[in-house]
Amino acid sequence: MTDFLPILPEEVAQRGWDQVDFVCVTGDAYVDHPSFGIAIISRLLESLGYRVAILAQPDWRTDRDFTRFGKPRLGFFVTGGNIDTMVNGYTAAKRKRSDDAYSPGNKAGRRPDRATIVYSQKIREIYPDSCIIIGGLEASLRRFAHYDYWDDRVRPSILLDSQADLLIYGMGEHQTAQIAKRLAAGERPDQIRDIRGICYLCHQFELPGDSVTCASFSKVSTDLQAYARATKQQLDEHDHVYGKTVVQKQDDQWYLVQTPPAIPLTQQELDQVFELPYQRYYHPIYEKEGGVKAIEEVEFSIMHNRGCFGHCNFCSIATHQGRVITCRSHESVLREARSFLKNPRFKGYIHDVGGPTANFRQPSCDKQAKLGMCKDRKCLGQSPCPALKADHRDYVQLLRELRAIPGIKKVFVRSGVRYDYLLKDPDPTFLRELVEYHVSGQLKVAPEHCSNAVLAKMGKPPISVYEQFAKKFYQTTKAVGKEQYLVPYLMSSHPGSTMKDALELALFLKKHNMRPEQVQDFYPTPGTISTCMFYTGIDPLTMEPVYVPRTPQEKAAQRAMLQYFRPENRRLILDTLVKLGREDLIGTGSDCLVPPDREYLRQKAARSPKAGRQGAVKPSKNKLGEKRTGKPIRQNGNRSKGGR
């Protein structure tokens, strides 16, 4: 018997159990680490005295795995895994992924599409009267009727499709403990409807009073403005202080009811969650298959906070974890760091001390504890709220204490750092110590774009803020005698981004001598503000129209613009520059993006009014055209300078 929770019937028998209380079903391999939601839920249930078994990546094509433990006494907790299974399984171009960091051997194919639905339906088929509770990111973000990028249509609540009894949204410790207690006391699922942070289905005559009603599934499926308004209503009520119950009709029979958000954990409660008896590694059963890759970045990383008041429009963290910051105590973090020293795999390097946003370690302002988060403005966004309190002293002290532990060689910060928040802090200590002690040669930051119009739709600060930060970063790096660099995350084709905006970004990158190796196409994931913009062409925060790049051709062109320097992108860049009327950017001068190729020169010659006359531009001649400076572009043989 191992110290992992049982994953086989014989392990249940070894514990002397004749029946388990709960089976926790997950689309991920079983990794007993607090960065995996199912590990937290299962260990929490265990700590409350329940007998828990883990069913990881069951074969959904047969009944065999789902009957492995028999019918649990109290019910099933089901999650698709740490990531929405469609995002995990497909690229932004809807191509099937061949790898899966959450599966043994990094191989895809171990879970079905929409795993939460598939697993729950299979359980309902086998055990019709068993209680099924769904949760995790996939369930949380699909709790209302939602646009599904892969189907390219609006789908009803995942609770309806899954046939589950209850849905836990957000971080689920409070809900899990209360549901388990009441099931153990003999209550039926339809009697457990007064817990915060859950969703359930009911008939019209059962609807609670004092609720907010948003447009029905039928309405949001056919009316884009109704979808946008519903998105704003759901966002407005996502606050534990003032949020109300939200109701949405799903079909002629069922209504979805979302209770107000759960109260965030206190620091003491969060400490307790992170100090449950995790094995902090994948189950040994996966060793022969090559292990589980997802453990690599988190095994020796420390999460010190939860929540994110940055609330970028394309990010699901604020919708799932909330905007309220909860932090672990220094003592809890230090105990975790010291535990690494006992691990033979630990080489002295803590890979990260972060979370959703690394440098958030306090509430964004004083009033939110009593009044909640502001409905109609962001703490940061295009400009920081005047009430924002930017203070890194506690985080700096925590990092200093970690560095002082004997046996710790280096402590890195690799989670996202909000540089706009950093710049609001008048004390430069954090930036100096970040650069001096906590950067491994490169610091990843997320300006995302340079067009302020696009950044506004992203909920990000103007590009001038990034430039201000970059200047301070490199000044500080030089002052401490190091050679370190910023690595920017960039996104193409976000709603609001036109081809002119993509060109503006390409020119910005060239000006700053930045050559991104990776570029992320905007990925319309369920439940975000940006996905609402993508589907409706409307900004739900303002109800104003938004331009949306939709066609594969335009998306490819926008993505290529960000990597204009790659030879394989040249043809596409050339065609795009011609369409934009920016042929002045074609050439080999310092201001140009790409050199011409033979096809471009042929087309240019055909467009010329002098085509066919003496002096016409021909590919066989050495003089191919004029740069902006008026100097000729030369070629050697039949290949133009700069590539084929």
Half-sphere exposure of 23 (CA within 13 A, CB side): 28
List of residues 6+ apart from 176 with CB closer than 8 A: 41, 44, 45, 77, 133, 135, 168
Q: Of the residues 565, 587, 614, which one is the last residue of a structural domain?
A: 565
The verdict on 426 and 343 lying in the same domain is: yes
pLDDT range class, residue 644, cuts 50, 70, 90:
very low
Alpha-carbon Rg for the chain in angstroms: 27
Determine, yes or no, domain membership for 82: yes
Determine, yes or no, domain membership for 338: yes
| Domain that residue 436 falls in | 300-440
Measured torsion, CA atoms of residues 464, 470, 472, 473, in degrees rounded to the nearest 10: 160
Rounded average pLDDT over 49-65? 97
Rounded average pLDDT over 257-268? 97
pLDDT in tens, 284-329: 999 999 999 999 999 999 999 999 999 999 999 888 999 999 999 9
The verdict on 315 and 431 lying in the same domain is: yes
Check whether 640 has a pLDDT greater than 70: no
Rounded average pLDDT over 461-479? 96
Rounded average pLDDT over 491-519? 94
Residue 556 φ/ψ region, left for φ over 0, alpha for ψ in the -120 to 50 degree band, beta for the rest: alpha
What are the DSSP calls for 531-570, one per residue?
HHHHHHSEETTTTEE-----SHHHHHHHHHHHTTTSGGGH
476 sits in which H/E element? helix 463-479
Rounded average pLDDT over 441-454? 94
The verdict on 473 and 345 lying in the same domain is: no
Determine, yes or no, domain membership for 194: yes
Mean pLDDT of the chain: 92
Q: Of the residues 383, 408, 440, which one is the last residue of a structural domain?
A: 440
DSSP assignment, residue 613?
S
Given a contact cutoff of 8 angstroms between Cβ atoms, the answer to whether 106 and 92 are in contact is: no
Output the six-digit token pair for 446: 């997320």
Q: What is the CATH number of the domain that holds 195?
A: 3.40.50.280
The verdict on 433 and 310 lying in the same domain is: yes
573 sits in which H/E element? helix 570-579
pLDDT range class, residue 628, cuts 50, 70, 90:
very low
Check whether 2 has a pLDDT greater than 90: no
Q: What is the CATH number of the domain that holds 500?
A: 3.30.750.200
Determine, yes or no, domain membership for 232: no
Which amino acid appears at position 141 of this protein?
A: L
Determine, yes or no, domain membership for 23: yes
Output the six-digit token pair for 248: 């949405």
Determine, yes or no, domain membership for 15: yes
Res 398: pLDDT: 98
Rounded average pLDDT over 75-87? 97
**What pTM, to 2 d.p., does this model score?**
0.91
Res 416: pLDDT: 86
The verdict on 42 and 94 lying in the same domain is: yes
Q: Of the residues 565, 588, 608, which one is the last residue of a structural domain?
A: 565
The verdict on 515 and 500 lying in the same domain is: yes
Output the six-digit token pair for 158: 């995942």
Angle ∠(536,537,543) on CA atoms, nearest 5: 90
The verdict on 459 and 436 lying in the same domain is: no
Percent of the chain with pLDDT over 90: 87
Determine, yes or no, domain membership for 581: no
In SS3 terms, 75-124 reads as EEEEECCCCCHHHHHECCCCCECCECCCCECCECCCCCCCHHHHHHHHHH
Name which of 161-170, 532-541, 627-636 the model is least confident about.
Answer: 627-636
Check whether 616 has a pLDDT greater than 60: no
- Please tell me the distance from the alpha carbon of residue 624 to that of residue 617, in angstroms, as a whole number: 6
Rounded average pLDDT over 608-630? 43
The verdict on 339 and 416 lying in the same domain is: yes
Res 643: pLDDT: 36
Name which of 111-115, 576-580, 599-603, 623-627 the model is least confident about.
Answer: 623-627
Residue that the structure tokens 């993006």 belong to: 593
The verdict on 523 and 381 lying in the same domain is: no
Q: What backbone torsions phi and psi does residue 185 show, to the nearest 5 degrees?
A: -80, 0
Q: How many domains does the chain have?
A: 3
The verdict on 367 and 503 lying in the same domain is: no
List of residues 6+ apart from 83 with CB closer than 8 A: 102, 137, 138
The verdict on 493 and 403 lying in the same domain is: no
Given a contact cutoff of 8 angstroms between Cβ atoms, the answer to whether 589 and 560 are in contact is: no
Determine, yes or no, domain membership for 454: yes
Strand partners, 148: 153
CB atoms within 10 A of CB 121: 17
Check whether 247 has a pLDDT greater than 50: yes
List of residues 6+ apart from 93 with CB closer than 8 A: 521, 552, 555
Q: What is the CATH number of the domain that holds 330?
A: 3.30.750.210
Sign of the CA dihedral running 38, 146, 256, 229: positive
List of residues 6+ apart from 284 with CB closer than 8 A: 2, 4
Res 558: pLDDT: 96
Output the six-digit token pair for 489: 């995350």
Check whether 499 has a pLDDT greater than 60: yes
DSSP assignment, residue 632?
B
The verdict on 34 and 77 lying in the same domain is: yes
